[in-house]
A and B are shown apart, each in its own frame.
Chain A
Amino acid sequence: MKLHEVFAHAKAENRAALIGYMPAGFPTKERSQQLIAAMIDGGVDIVEVGFPYSDPVMDGPVIQQAAEIALRNNTSARDVFDVVASSTVPTLVMSYWNPIERYGAAKFADDLSQVSGVGVITPDLTVEESENWINATDGQGIGRVYVVAPSSSDARLASVAAACSGFVYAASLMGVTGARTSISSAASELVARVRRVTDLPIAVGLGVSNAEQAAEVARFADGVIVGSAFIKLVQESATFDEAITAVRSLAQRLAAGVRRS
């Protein structure tokens, strides 16, 4: 399935799509593949595979710690592609810009499409610096997902959304990744502003960690993105089997959440 088909399918069911994030190589490459399989098993519609980076300025402590472990395992672009290849639902990569630039933007888009990757979320790439990336992705059918924030001006939202393909990632709040106890009102306001400038699906991320929040976000967004909450479960589990069970179970609850409205 393509990205737009997943969103259309979810919409036909009158619900939001559930998007789960897991860094490649955390806690090992094989285990990140197993964790992703468990998320899918639990009902995740779309997977985001994180490309671990040494200087993740958009990430809170949970994802930072996971990235450090993945980097100690020497996780490379090749490993990221292998993890994408093992996923059985439409899968994107989330990567800071430097690892992509270092790999070669065109080669990255090429190699990602070889493993049926559907897009890349680039949290620190601005549209002004995107010429290479736009050229690299246009021919490959690789979705370009940029992140917009509550502080973005209307003009800025329009230009960023125009550069997006696949969906637009709306940050629910001003801040870094990590579970929060409540969804800020900024999220629904931002989604409403983005709707005015694009017909693309809009997915909301940052801070969503439980079924109640997923249900709340699903009322106004087309996709609900959950990352830190999954990773935290893995970090807190005594054994890997326990982690797999916990991740699957959270995915099930979130999947029920995005269907409740």
Chain B
Amino acid sequence: MERSSIIGHFGPYGGRFVPEALIAALEELDAAHQAAAIDENFQNELAHLHRTYTGRPSIITEAPRFGAHAGGARILLKREDLNHTGSHKINNVLGQALLTKRMGKKRIIAETGAGQHGVASATAAALLGLECVVYMGEEDTKRQSLNVARMKLLGATVVPVTTGSRTLKDAINEAMRDWVTNVETTHYLLGTVAGPHPFPTMVRDFHRIIGVESRAQVLELTGRLPDAVLACVGGGSNAIGIFHPFIDDENVRLIGLEAGGAGVETGRHAATISGGTPGVLHGTRSYVLQDENGQTVESHSISAGLDYPGVGPEHAFLHDIGRAEYRAITDDQAMHAFALLSKTEGIIPAIETAHALAGALQVGNELGKEAILLINLSGRGDKDVQTAAHYFGIPL
């Protein structure tokens, strides 16, 4: 497939829009990532951690009772929720934490929305003996208080961010400010496929394992490739991880589900590709929710992990060339799917993940019972029990 030849770009997207102070660190990181990618010792070390710590390979679970509501389509769930710490985020975190050690840095900082990336970062820091500071929007520290406590138990410092919309976007701003100041000793362990080069490429590479494993697993289980691969899209890391190994399989549809909030038409949403325009945010060019003056617009979603007005540049590119499709799922549609998977399969998904499940209900009904759908079950819903109980009126 034709992609831009300029390193770090995906067609017109990607690149580096950062203070000059960070360029040296980004170049160092890029070099470390490239060296690690072809270094057998590094790959073995990461694979060993994934086997003995993360719990990889993650399994595939068939979901026939859920599938009955999805036009009878065959639903295959890639169980990233069973990873240690409860989501796909650990794949990227362990990779970057090992790179941090290689670069001789002793401190990591991270942003977090749902808290999953923060928990994974705090976990890796504890495992590898690194200092860890997590920036989290004050709004999110309330929505995800359980994860705040988990991070603290793991020895991390959690800094509530009180600027702007007090969510993920502002946590990233604050992390960038810390990084500009402490870049010599500190690695910014960015949690998704956004940000300046090399993050979109590097984070994708650490998550490709999701797609590589599941492509082989689906082939073995069903004897063929799936008709569609579905994943929720916040920044887009779990989605690109499962999509990427399927990109050259032209007959496999790649479908990203964005957070439609109250509905894209209401303006209260976080569906960046469905409802945004090209622009620059947090160091990369991609789709952005912005106003006519180029100011970032606040996003809205019931899911803290999808509540972000940007998206990874590779998704912007896959969208523009028509290789992947992106749809918006409203809060209500996501919560319906959340409850349905819980009751039909005994799996409580993260609310982020529920957006992908709602997409599966739609696509299954469109394609019918011959279809095979592979869904990235990116995380488990324990952290969301409070939000869900509130939504469904369950007294706590």
A112 vs chain B, min Cβ distance (A): 15
Q: In the complex, which residues 71-86 of chain A have their Cβ closer than 8 Å to any Cβ of chain B? A: 71, 76-77
Per-residue B-contact encoding for A148-175, CB less than 8 Å = 1, 0 else: 1111110010001000000000010011
Instruction: Tell me if A174 and B181 are in contact (CB < 8 A).
Output: yes
B176, closest chain A residue (CB): A57
**A53→B22 CA distance, assembly (Å):** 20
Interface size class of B (residues with CB under 8 A): 35 or more
- B25 contacts A by Cβ under 8 Å: yes
B129 within 8 Å of A by Cβ? no
- Report how far A148 CA is from B20 CA in the complex, Å: 6
| A123 and B294 within 8 A (CB) | no
Chain A residues, Cβ within 8 Å of B154? none
- Give CA–CA (A60, B174) in the complex, Å: 9
B11-19, B102-110, B351-359, B382-390: which lies at the interface: B11-19
How close is A33's CB to chain B, nearest CB, in angstroms? 19
Residue pair B293, A77 in contact (C-beta under 8 Å): yes
Can you list, as one digit per residue, whether each of A45-66 has a CB less than 8 Å from chain B (1) or not (0)? 0000000011111111000100
Kindly state whether residue A128 has any CB partner on chain B within 8 Å: yes
- Kindly state the separation between the CA atoms of A125 and B23 in the bound complex, as whole angstroms: 11
Stretch touching chain A among B262-270, B275-283, B320-328? B275-283
Chain A residue nearest to B182 in the complex (CB)? A174
CA distance A123 to B20 in the complex (A): 8
Neighbour of A102 across the interface among B23, B181, B292, CB < 8 A: B292
Range of interface residues on A (Cβ < 8 Å): 35 or more
Q: Which residues of B contact A126 (CB under 8 A)?
A: 15-18, 20, 23
**Nearest-CB distance from B111 to chain A (Å)?**
12
Q: In the complex, A171 Cα to B19 Cα: how many Å?
A: 10
Nearest B residue to A53 via CB reads: B295
Q: Kindly list chain A residues whose C-beta atoms are within 8 Å of the C-beta of B207.
A: none
In the bound complex, do residue B17 and residue A125 qualify as a contact, i.e. CB atoms below 8 Å apart? yes
- Chain B residues in 8 Å Cβ range of A175: 180-181
B183 interface residue (CB < 8 Å to A) = yes
Q: Are B163 and A64 in contact (CB under 8 A)?
A: yes
Contact A54 B296, beta carbon cutoff 8 Å: yes
A124 to B18, CA, bound (A): 4
Q: Is the CB of A55 within 8 A of B282?
A: yes
List residues of chain B with CB within 8 A of the CB of A152. 20-21, 23-24
**Chain B contacts of A60 at CB under 8 A?**
177
Q: Is B169 an interface residue (CB 8 A)?
A: yes
Assess whether A97 is interfacial by the CB under 8 Å rule. Answer: yes
| Residues in chain B near residue A148, CB distance under 8 A | 20
Chain A 112-153 interface 0/1 with B at a Cβ cutoff of 8 Å (1 = within): 000000000001111011000000000000000011111111
Chain A residues lying within 8 Å of B182, measured Cβ to Cβ, are 174
Question: Can you list 18 pairs linking A and B with CB atoms under 8 Å apart?
Answer: A56-B173, A57-B177, A57-B180, A57-B282, A64-B163, A99-B294, A101-B280, A102-B279, A102-B294, A126-B15, A129-B285, A150-B21, A152-B21, A152-B23, A174-B180, A174-B184, A176-B177, A176-B180
Apart from A54-B296, A156-B23: 20 A-B pairs, beta carbons within 8 A: A54-B295, A55-B164, A76-B293, A77-B293, A97-B280, A124-B280, A124-B283, A126-B15, A126-B23, A129-B285, A149-B19, A150-B21, A151-B24, A151-B183, A151-B184, A152-B21, A156-B20, A174-B21, A174-B183, A174-B184
